[in-house]
Amino acid sequence: MRHLLFFVPFLVLGVSCQTITEPDVLGEGNPDSDPQRLEVVGYHAWWSGEAWRDYDFNALDGIYFFSLEIGKDGRIENDRAWPEGWQALIATARATDTEVIPSVTILDPDTYRAVFSDTAAVAALKEEIVNLATDVSADGVHLDFEMFERVDPEIRQAVTDLVAEARAEMRERREDTQLTMYMLAEDPADVLDEAAIAPHLDKLIVQAYDLHWQHGDQAGPVAPISGWAGRNWNGILTRFLGFGVDPEKMLFTVPYFGYEWPTMDYLPGARTTGPGTILAYGKGPEGIPSARDRAAEYGKLRDAESGSPYYAYRDSIGDWHQGWFEDAESIAQKYLFASGEGLAGVAIFPLAYGDRELLVTLTAAREQLQTGVSP
């Protein structure tokens, strides 16, 4: 979530340094896992405003409010009016037994270094986390600390210690609160000690999108399950299993967004000639094009390797563009993957960028997985 998904940089994870080389074929699933209820959480981004009123809370186990931003002193710098300004959302979630979890973010590298190199700032951040997680308005707290540059070993250890200590203090004050954390698909700079952090988390929200990203040099699927030289869901799962993480603690992220890039030609994997434009699948905020509508205009194609949809067209001066996204068909396969591999579930980002078709797909998948009947 390196940038903020609207007019200012979006919550997307740049993975330009990734080298996911694990098996790239769709797995057969975990033979020991039984059909299970698919846990579904979704992010409501603050800039989506009142869009939450159109959500089907009965289809969600949790709603993650995105986000409360941390400053260099470890204190909340911008709370986006949480929780006072979101009481109606909280009440609606409570009425449907949907958990409410605010997200705490550090997305700036300078802030990351400033906080985790200062013991006073770390102590302040821990206090903020524990207070949020034990407040009556929330059922826990979600951590989203993103860093793509190498850090000193002391900073790496400080993050691990923070997670462990915050979890312990949260549970001392309130046993039923939970701590979750966003984990990058790849960590080429070795910023986090994932194996040491995971035992202190109730759930890991694992980045499973942006495998082709907004500022990348190649156009392709945002969240492929298979193909693409191992840069896919199978590769990500293999990586986290290597840390000893229980699949039942992992939720993979499902994107309701995509990108349209200027490209050299119309072929999948074409080189980009500039940064991508953010797409919402359905009707997003003003100024964000709809991938669904653009695919209807230019013709929807489907990538044979990943199963992800895309479109391609030439503009008025003859330059090529490609738009890649996920639709009901490809997302349904992701739900099956999550269940078949014994994952806890999925985390949708952002809920407001979906439409009725994606909601129907989600509801049907949950019903089918609960009964053990394949779609």
Q: What angle do CA 282, 287, 292 make, to 5 degrees?
A: 25
> Using an 8 Å Cβ cutoff, are 185 and 207 in contact?
yes
CB contact set of 323 (below 8 Å; sequence gap of 6+)? 258, 259, 260, 261, 279, 291, 294, 295, 298, 310, 311, 312
CA distance 132 to 140: 7
CB contact set of 128 (below 8 Å; sequence gap of 6+)? 70, 74, 75, 76, 104
At 372 the pLDDT is 60
The answer to whether domain 39-257+328-371 has CATH 3.20.20.80 is yes
Buried b (16+ CB within 10 A) or exposed e, 12-47: bbbbeebebeeebebeeeeeeeeebebbbbbbbbbb
CB hemisphere CA count around 44 (13 angstroms)? 25
CB contact set of 27 (below 8 Å; sequence gap of 6+)? 234, 237, 337, 340, 341
Look at the block and give the residue holding tokens 């563009």: 321
At 367 the pLDDT is 84
CA distance 276 to 152: 32
Q: What is the pTM of this model?
A: 0.91
Handedness of CA 14, 187, 334, 263 (dihedral sign): positive
The phi and psi torsions of 296 (rounded to 5 degrees) equal: -65, -35
List the chain residues with pLDDT less than 70. 1-36, 370-375
Q: Which amino acid is at 52?
A: W
CA distance 25 to 234: 7
CA distance 315 to 29: 43
Q: Which tokens hold the place of 203? A: 């759930």
CA distance 146 to 112: 8
Helix (H) or strand (E) holding 156: helix 153-173
Q: Which amino acid is at 116?
A: F
At 28 the pLDDT is 44
CB contact set of 287 (below 8 Å; sequence gap of 6+)? 6, 7
Residue-wise pLDDT tens digits, 59-68:
999 999 999 9
> Using an 8 Å Cβ cutoff, are 99 and 62 in contact?
yes
CA distance 15 to 1: 10
**248 DSSP 8-state letter:** G
Q: What angle do CA 188, 190, 191 make, to 5 degrees?
A: 115
Q: Which tokens hold the place of 49? A: 């405003």
At 18 the pLDDT is 38
Question: Where do the structural domains in the chain lie, given as residue ranges?
Answer: 39-257+328-371
At 369 the pLDDT is 73
Look at the block and give the residue holding tokens 């995105």: 66
Residue-wise pLDDT tens digits, 336-366:
999 999 999 999 999 999 999 999 999 998 8
